[in-house]
Amino acid sequence: MSALKIKKGSSSHSAYDLRDPHAEGLEKHTLAVIVANEAGVLARVIGLFSGRGYNIESLTVAEVDHAGHRSRITVVTTGTPSVIEQIKAQLGRIVPVHEVHDLTVEGKSVERELALFKVAGEGNNRVEALRLADIFRANVVDSTLESFVFEITGTPEKIDAFADLMRPIGLVEMARTGVAALSRGTRG
């Protein structure tokens, strides 16, 4: 027995686990932010996340309105519901931000990601890589005698599953675009 008269192994709970058991759990949210397409806007948006310790799991940016000089930033982030609400409120206060949409709570949305995979291999590994690419509907966009480069589009989970299967075959390198997302239906 220890000096505190607690038997070793008597509790499965750590004394250092001081989290409130009734606290909110972490949730993943996809945010679509329409911003002015001008220098420094992306840095300000990203600065909001980094300055407050918010995590960014995925980030994509592109101009969506040439005439109106607007860009769309799609951010996938994780946090408690209260942190997500705080992120949305703080994004809305940044001057060049025109709109903030939480696609996760506004209804159904379509999320896709593009990835390129370089897979090296010979013999049976090449055949297996091509077979798996066919199953996942990945396209061969480059081929040498030693490797393939596959292009695949789908949900982040599909991309992860393809990567997991290609690793033992000979995955050399991977590049991912990040999530692009739109709400379903006619609402904007």
What is the per-residue pLDDT across 50-71, written as a single tens digit (0 to 9) for each?
A: 888 898 999 999 999 999 999 9
Q: Judge whether 2 and 15 are in contact, CB under 8 Å.
A: no
Q: Judge whether 177 and 113 are in contact, CB under 8 Å.
A: yes
CA proximity to 91, closest of 26, 34, 30: 34
Please report the pLDDT score of residue 3 as a whole number.
Answer: 52
Give residue-wise pLDDT tens across range 2-27: 455 545 444 445 445 455 555 568 89
Among 76, 102, 128, the domain boundary falls at 102
How many distinct structural domains can be found in the chain? 2
Query: Looking up tokens 């220890």, which residue turns up?
Result: 2
Q: Judge whether 77 and 54 are in contact, CB under 8 Å.
A: yes
d(CA 104, CA 182): 10
Residue 135 lies in a domain: yes
What letter would DSSP give residue 17? -
**Taking the CB of residue 3, how many other CB atoms lie within 10 A of it?**
5
Q: Average of pLDDT values for 38-61?
A: 92
Please report the pLDDT score of residue 24 as a whole number.
Answer: 66
d(CA 119, CA 112): 22
Q: Where are the beta strands (DSSP E) in the chain?
A: 27-36, 55-65, 70-79, 97-102, 109-120, 139-143, 147-154, 171-176, 180-183
137 and 170 within one domain: yes
Residue 65 lies in a domain: yes
* Structural domain that includes position 34: 27-102
Global pTM reads: 0.77
- For all residues of the chain together, what is the average pLDDT? 88
97 and 142 within one domain: no
Give residue-wise pLDDT tens across range 67-110: 999 999 999 999 999 999 999 999 999 889 999 999 999 989 99
